[in-house]
Structure 1
Amino acid sequence: MQKATSGDGHRRVPVLAVKNVSYWYGSKKALKDVSFDVYPGRVTALLGPNGAGKTTLFSLITRLFDASEGRIEIVGRSPSEWGSKALAPLGVVFQQPTLDLDLTVKQNLRYFAALRGLARKDADERMHRALAALAMGERIEERVRSLNGGHRRRVEIARALLHGPQLLLLDEPTIGLDVPTRTAIVRHIHELARADNIGVLWATHLFDEVKDDDDLLVLDRGRIVASGEARDIVAETGARDLGGAFRLLIGGETEEDVAA
């Protein structure tokens, strides 16, 4: 992936740098010399078939696992060296829901804000702002159990943004949602990245969630097999669209075979 530059030509510093990372499960090598950067204000889409290593990669970035080889830096700090301080600029929405269903939207967000050390007044202001941006402001007093899947996802995204992260990780955030809800979330995340200068790493198996000018990583059998702007990758393969380019890059998988 080309080094990103600002409007005045100066190279920007990545909010996430993954350098020559490899990882084993016993004797099986799940990731093989993976390197890439995520830049502020950019959405980087991560595509890969089932078993490609996407979940392993997210686990390493969030330090659920420690990398066997290589280095990961979040805003210049390695989690293996800095621990929780390195993870402070990170917001995460995991594939599996993690909200407390018996608490209200407000209670869920206040609890998270307290864990992050935010003062109540500041937390409430951020909460209302984040929920309003996701068209969820009127549901703040509702119990999460009463919300549908799309609304719960929006609450999780709002929660991930409360502390003002510089890097947002999204692991299949729209899985199981209807098309209008997916479209709204995709649009909001792209607008958010630009407006707040957040770097986003978005794992998805849906080609229509990737915009032509997004940065794109294609991961296959633990290796990065393509990186660059999505439109450039499609052009380089000679395919008609991203789905066709993806199938060529990974050796013929169909769209239905792509999964987290």
Structure 2
Amino acid sequence: MNALAIENLSHSFGTRQVLQNVSFTVAEGRMCILLGRNGAGKTTLFSLITGLYYARTGLVRVFDMAMQANPSAALAQMGVVFQLPTLDLDLTAGENLRYHAALHGLPTELSKARSREELSRLEVLDRIDDRTSALSGGQRRRVEIARALMHGPRLLLLDEPTTGLDVPGRSALEQHVRNLCRERGIAVLWATHFLEEVAADDDVVVLDRGRVCWTGPADRIAPELGVGSVAEAFALLTGSP
């Protein structure tokens, strides 16, 4: 089953078309990289998938549930980490997670246990009682991912999650998410402009100027385009240097 299916999705801001007939799928339990330059339309696409913007043209399906027809059920299956940080910096890491859990109706004791479990898995349990304002950028990102997992979603969406992190921090965060995908069978849609975040066994969707210009297994993109690397394939598809 597909965790996420995007069908002929288009969106405009006034007269400016930002997405044009976007279609792709994310399979259950798979890591899918949404690869595009800044301004390609990735964040707008995330806003449509999560219902922040209303999709007037096209469909968003989450585990075969239409987002437009049944948003509550679809959103219950999603965990989301947006590009801009959304933690309450006046609350501790644990309080941020428990507040999110309460919004999803989790009982207090389950919320406490799960917050410790998720923070431990992401190796920030020792900061559970610290205000998030005192955490590093990488630690805050891990707390945001832990928060997104509190209600047990089957699909995790991350919009440019490593932006602003140093190279070791980016690598560590990426590995944590890959472990989640492999160990728990969570489907992941990871939006990025960093080519080095694509692994050979990922699925890839290349988005350029609001259009999908390639989709398929990462290890097929270079051979199918007759070039030697993902970077060369991306440059060929998008016209970037």
TM range (shorter): over 0.9
1:199 aligns with 2:199: no
Residue 48 (structure 2) pairs with residue 60 (structure 1): yes
Aligned: 1:237 with 2:197: no
Q: Is the 8 A contact 1:40 1:193 kept in 2?
A: no
Structure 1 segments (4+ residues) deviating >3 Å = none
Measured after TM superposition, the shift of residue 28 of structure 1 is 2.3
TM-score by length of 1: 0.90
Residue segments in structure 2 that go unaligned for 5+ positions in a row? none
Cα distance in 2, alignment partners of residues 174 and 143 from structure 1: 21
User: Which residue number in structure 2 is paired with residue 132 of structure 1?
Assistant: 120
Distance of 2:95 and 2:44 partners within structure 1: 31
Normalised to the residue count of structure 2, the TM-score between the two structures is: 0.97
Q: Structure 1: 5+ residue runs without aligned partners?
A: 1-12, 255-260
Q: Distance in 1 between matches of 2:207 and 2:216?
A: 13
Larger strand share, 1 or 2: 2
Distance 1:41 1:168 in 2: 10
Q: 1:226 aligns with which of 194, 206, 214?
A: 214
Secondary structure of the residue aligned to 2:90 is coil
Q: Which residue of 1 aligns with 2:35?
A: 47
Amino acid at match of 1:171: D
* Equivalent in 213, 228, 234 of residue 201 of structure 2: 213
User: What does residue 6 of structure 1 align with?
Assistant: none
RMSD (Å), alpha carbons: 1.1
How far residue 52 of structure 1 moved from its aligned partner, in angstroms, is: 1.6
Q: Is the 8 A contact 1:30 1:53 kept in 2?
A: yes
Aligned to 2:178, which of 183, 190, 215? 190
CA displacement at 1:63 relative to structure 2 = 0.7
- 1:4 aligns with none
Q: Residue 167 of structure 2 is aligned with which of 147, 162, 179?
A: 179
**Secondary structure of 2:2 counterpart:** coil
Alpha-carbon separation, structure 1, partners of 2:143 and 2:39: 29
Cα distance, 1:167 vs. partner?
A: 0.7
Match of 1:92 in 2: 80
How many residues matched? 241
- 8 Å CA contact retained: 1:41, 1:195: no
Structure 2 residue 139 is the aligned partner of structure 1 residue 159: no
Corresponding residue to 1:112 among 100, 121, 141: 100
Distance 1:142 1:27 in 2: 46
Q: Percent identity?
A: 52
Q: CA–CA distance in 1 between the matches of 2:201 and 2:237? A: 19
Q: Distance in 1 between matches of 2:46 and 2:121?
A: 26
The one-letter code matched in structure 2 to 1:169 is L
* Structure 1 residue 107 displacement after superposition: 0.9
